[in-house]
C-alpha cells in the first residue's frame, strides 16, 4: 500500500507545482479550463454512484441507497458536511439494523 | 484622502484587513476540519493503518483525491486505477498554480512550499482578495493564511478521525459504507448549480453504474468521468458559447 500511496503523493505534488512552471498560455484556453473544471466533478459523481450501488463486480441495491437519498435531501436544505455524512450513515445503519435492506 | 502606502509595514487599514483574512481562513479551515475527521475515520474503516492515513493527509493534501484513492482501493480496485483516479481529480490544482504564479511572484524554495498548499481554499481566498491597489498584498496573505490554516487543521483532524475510528465497531453496522458517497456528494453539490456541470455529473454517474458489471473496480469511474466531460464539452460547443466556469471550490466552502 505504501508504494501507490507514495506515487500518488508525488504525482499530486507535481501537478500542483506544474501550474507554477507551465506557460500561462496552456491554461488560458477556454476548453482546457472547461475540462479542468468539469473533470473532477464528473469523476466524483461517478464515484458517488459506484459507492452507492456498486458491489464488487456488480450492482447491489441495499441500505446505502436510502442513506444517499437522505444525504441529497439534507444537502438541498443546505445542511453542512458533517450533518450530511452523519445523516447518511445513520440512515443506512438504522435501515440495516431494522432488517429492511441488506 | 491620501491613498495608503501598500508597503507601509502595518498601517491600521492593513492590520484590520489582515485580521479579517485570518478570521476567514479559520472559518474555511473549520469547514475543512469536519471533512478531515470524516476522511480519517473512513480511511481506517477501509483498512488503512493510522500511519498510512496520516501520511495521505500530510503528503497528498487533496481531500477529494484522498477519498477517491481510499474509496477505489476499499472497493477492491487495483492500485494503478486508484492512483490514476486520484491524479485525475487532482489535475485541477495545476490550473490553480497557473492562476496564482503572477500574484505570488515567488521562486525557488518558497514556490515549492506554495505548491504544497495550492488547494481549493487557498486559491479561492487568494483570488477573492486579489486587487491592483495593494499590489496583490491581500491576495498573497489570503493564499498563505488559508493554505497554512487548512493544512494544519486537515492533518490534525485526520489523526483525530483515524484514532476515533479505531475504536468504532463494524463499519457496515454503523452505515459508514454510505458515508463516503454522502461526503463526496457534499463536495460535488455546490458545483451542480451550473447546468452543464449537472449534465456531466449525471452522465458520469449513469456510465459508471452501467460499466460496473463489465470492468474492473475503479475503471468505470475513470471512463465515466472522461466520457461525461467529452459529451458535455461537445454539447457546449453546439450551444451558444458561455464563459468557461472557473474551477469551483470542491470542498464546498463558501470562500
**C-alpha to C-alpha distance for A63 and A55, rounded to whole angstroms:** 12
| Chain B residues closer than 8 Å to A89 by CB | 174-176, 178-179, 182
User: Per-domain residue ranges for chain B?
Assistant: 10-176, 192-244
Place of cell 483532524: B157
Phi, psi angles (nearest 5°) of residue B173: -65, -25
What is residue B8's predicted lDDT score, i.e. its pLDDT? 58
- Residues constituting chain B: 255
Asked whether B196 and B232 are in contact (CB, 8 A), the reply is yes
Tens-digit pLDDT profile for residues B215-247: 887 889 889 999 999 999 888 888 765 544 444
Instruction: Name the DSSP letter for residue B118.
Output: -
| Chain B residues closer than 8 Å to A68 by CB | 178, 181-182, 185
Q: Cβ A85–B98 below 8 Å, yes or no?
A: no
**C-alpha to C-alpha distance for B132 and B138, rounded to whole angstroms:** 10
In terms of C-beta density within 10 A (0-12 exposed, 13-18 middle, 19 or more buried), how is residue B142 classed? buried
The pLDDT profile of chain B, 255 residues, written as one tens digit per residue, is 445 555 556 789 999 999 999 998 998 888 788 789 889 998 998 899 999 999 999 999 999 899 999 988 887 888 999 999 999 989 888 888 988 998 998 989 999 999 999 998 899 889 889 888 899 999 999 999 999 999 999 999 999 999 998 888 777 888 888 887 888 898 889 889 999 999 999 999 999 999 999 988 788 988 999 999 999 988 888 876 554 444 444 343 333
Indicate the SS3 state at residue B3: coil
Nearest residue to B221 via CA among A27, A18, A46, A60: A46
Residues of chain A with pLDDT under 50: none
| Chain A residues closer than 8 Å to B99 by CB | 19, 27
Alpha-helical regions (H) of B46-176 = 50-55, 63-74, 79-90, 92-104, 108-116, 120-128, 137-166
Nearest chain B residue to A20 by CA distance is B97
**C-alpha to C-alpha distance for B39 and B70, rounded to whole angstroms:** 9
**Region for B46 from its dihedrals, namely left if φ exceeds 0, alpha if ψ lies in -120 to 50, beta otherwise:** alpha
Instruction: Name the DSSP letter for residue B60.
Output: I
| Chain B residues closer than 8 Å to A86 by CB | 179
Following DSSP, what letter does each residue of B220-248 receive, concatenated? HHHHHHHHHHHHHHHHHHHSPP-PPPPPP
Measure B139 CA to nearest chain A CA, in Å.
Answer: 16
Place of cell 504564479: B101
Q: Cβ A4–B31 below 8 Å, yes or no?
A: no
The ipTM of this complex is 0.89
Q: What angle do CA B92, B155, A13 make, to 5 degrees?
A: 35
Dihedral of the alpha carbons of B114, B70, A41, B101, in degrees to the nearest 10: 10
Grid cell digits, residue A36? 479542468
**C-alpha to C-alpha distance for A97 and B173, rounded to whole angstroms:** 7
Tens-digit pLDDT profile for residues B117-148: 999 889 988 988 988 889 999 999 999 999 99
- Residues constituting chain A: 102
Continuous segment of H or E residues that includes residue B168 = none
**Structural Rg of chain A based on CA atoms:** 19
Amino acid at each position: 500500500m505504501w508504494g501507490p500511496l507514495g506515487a500518488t503523493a508525488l504525482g499530486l505534488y507535481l501537478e500542483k507545482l506544474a501550474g507554477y512552471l507551465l506557460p500561462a498560455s496552456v491554461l488560458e484556453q477556454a476548453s482546457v479550463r472547461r475540462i479542468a473544471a468539469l473533470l473532477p466533478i464528473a469523476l466524483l459523481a461517478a464515484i458517488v454512484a459506484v459507492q452507492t450501488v456498486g458491489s464488487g463486480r456488480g450492482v447491489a441495491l441495499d441500505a446505502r441507497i436510502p442513506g444517499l437519498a437522505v444525504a441529497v435531501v439534507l444537502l438541498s436544505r443546505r445542511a453542512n458536511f458533517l450533518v450530511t455524512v452523519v445523516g447518511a450513515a445513520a440512515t443506512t445503519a438504522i435501515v440495516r439494523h431494522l432488517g429492511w435492506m441488506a | 484622502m491620501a491613498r495608503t502606502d501598500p508597503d507601509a509595514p502595518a498601517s491600521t487599514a492593513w492590520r484590520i484587513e489582515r485580521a479579517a483574512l485570518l478570521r476567514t481562513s479559520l472559518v474555511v479551515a473549520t469547514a475543512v476540519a469536519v471533512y478531515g475527521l470524516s476522511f480519517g475515520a473512513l480511511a481506517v474503516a477501509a483498512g488503512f493503518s493510522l500511519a498510512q492515513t496520516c501520511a495521505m493527509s500530510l503528503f497528498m493534501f487533496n481531500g477529494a483525491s484522498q477519498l477517491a484513492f481510499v474509496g477505489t482501493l476499499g472497493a477492491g480496485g487495483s492500485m494503478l486505477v486508484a492512483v490514476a483516479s486520484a491524479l485525475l481529480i487532482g489535475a485541477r490544482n495545476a490550473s490553480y498554480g497557473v492562476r496564482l504564479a503572477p500574484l505570488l511572484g515567488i521562486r525557488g524554495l518558497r514556490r515549492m512550499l506554495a505548491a504544497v498548499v495550492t488547494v481549493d481554499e487557498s486559491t479561492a481566498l487568494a483570488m477573492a482578495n486579489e486587487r491592483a491597489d495593494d499590489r496583490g498584498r491581500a491576495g498573497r496573505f489570503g493564499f498563505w493564511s488559508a493554505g497554512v490554516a487548512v493544512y494544519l487543521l486537515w492533518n490534525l483532524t485526520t489523526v483525530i478521525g483515524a484514532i476515533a475510528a479505531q475504536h468504532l465497531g463494524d463499519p457496515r453496522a454503523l452505515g459508514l459504507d454510505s458515508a463516503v458517497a454522502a461526503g463526496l456528494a457534499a463536495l460535488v453539490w455546490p458545483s451542480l448549480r451550473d447546468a452543464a456541470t449537472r449534465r456531466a455529473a449525471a452522465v458520469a454517474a449513469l456510465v459508471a453504474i452501467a460499466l460496473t458489471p463489465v470492468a474492473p473496480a475503479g475503471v468505470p469511474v475513470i471512463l465515466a468521468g472522461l466520457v461525461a466531460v467529452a459529451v458535455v464539452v461537445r454539447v457546449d460547443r453546439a450551444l451558444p458559447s458561455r464563459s468557461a466556469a472557473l474551477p469551483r471550490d470542491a470542498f464546498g466552502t463558501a470562500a
